[in-house]
Amino acid sequence: MKVRSKLFLGALLLGLLACVYWLMHESGTLMTILDPNALHARVIQMGAWGPAAIIGLMMLAILISPIPSAPIALAAGAAYGHGWGTLYVLLGAEAGAVAAFAISRFVGFDTVHRWFGNRLSVGLVGSQSALMGIVFVSRILPFISFDIVSYAAGITVLTFWRFAIATLAGIAPTSFLLAHFGSEIGTGQTNKVLFSVLALGGLTLIPVGVKLYRGWRARRRLDSKEN
């Protein structure tokens, strides 16, 4: 398919996602999502369709960046516990990330590589292992946009399966903690809620600790060579 046709389809898809966001805003669905308690009540009312709603909303939260995913994960934990809640959050987040990757790969990969040529196949940008590691670390750090990383990865040379594996491995711990956090909020056990918050904060510091340790090891090796 020609590049222009792909860009046209991409523009149509972007317009469709914008329409979905507008409808969610106008219908009050977005306000419900922003309130975990209200979303929890709505999901419970849906009965057997509740898990499908959680998965679908998580997908939309990845595809449409302004929609927050944390309240959805909290509501999933409150409604279904940290076990099933984690599973539904994982399924939705993984499906959304893969969809964003596929859209970016289909629409933008050929265009970007036509502009930059072989320059995108050298260094870290051209290394499958390095890109996989970047995706994995970005999933753990909450201040890095999950959505942007998913779309950006699609225009790199990273393979689909490596992206999917790195994403799943990276989001599993945070998804569990958020769902667990939501389940504890639902039971009113504030001491466990505090522990969940601290655990989530500690998890985000792991990559920082690894980087500091590697820097310390590198300085020690350098000092030993000089001595």
Determine the pLDDT at residue 88.
Answer: 95
Percent of the chain at pLDDT exceeding 90: 26
Q: Is pTM, for the whole model, over 0.85?
A: no
- What tens digit of pLDDT does each residue of 153-196 get? 888 888 999 999 999 998 988 888 888 888 876 555 444 444 45
**For 79-88, how does the pLDDT look when each residue is reduced to its tens digit (9 = 90+)?**
898 889 999 9
Distance from C-alpha of 133 to C-alpha of 123, rounded to nearest angstrom: 14
Query: Half-sphere exposure (CA, 13 Å, Cβ side) for 19?
Result: 6
Give residue 86's pLDDT: 92
CB 75, CB 61: distance < 8 Å:
no
Give the domain range for residue 16.
Answer: 3-226
d(CA 103, CA 88): 22
Of 6 and 124, the structure prediction assigns the larger pLDDT to: 6
Which amino acid does the sequence have at 32? T
Phi-psi region of 28 (alpha: psi -120 to 50; beta: other; left: phi over 0): left
Please give the Cα distance from 22 to 16 (Å, whole number).
Answer: 10
CA angle, corner 111, sides to 164 and 125, nearest 5? Answer: 50
Could you tell me the two tokens for 179? Answer: 């769902």
Q: Give the model's pLDDT for residue 95.
A: 95
Average pLDDT, integer, range 37-66: 91
Whether the predicted pLDDT of 96 surpasses 50: yes
Half-sphere exposure of residue 182, counting CA atoms within 13 Å on the CB side?
A: 31
Q: Where does residue 117 fall: left (phi above 0), alpha (psi -120 to 50 degrees), or beta otherwise?
A: left
Secondary structure (3-state) at 94: helix
How far is residue 7 from each of residues 2, 78, 110, measured CA to CA in Å?
9, 41, 10
As for how many domains the chain has, the answer is 1
Average pLDDT over residues 107-115: 71
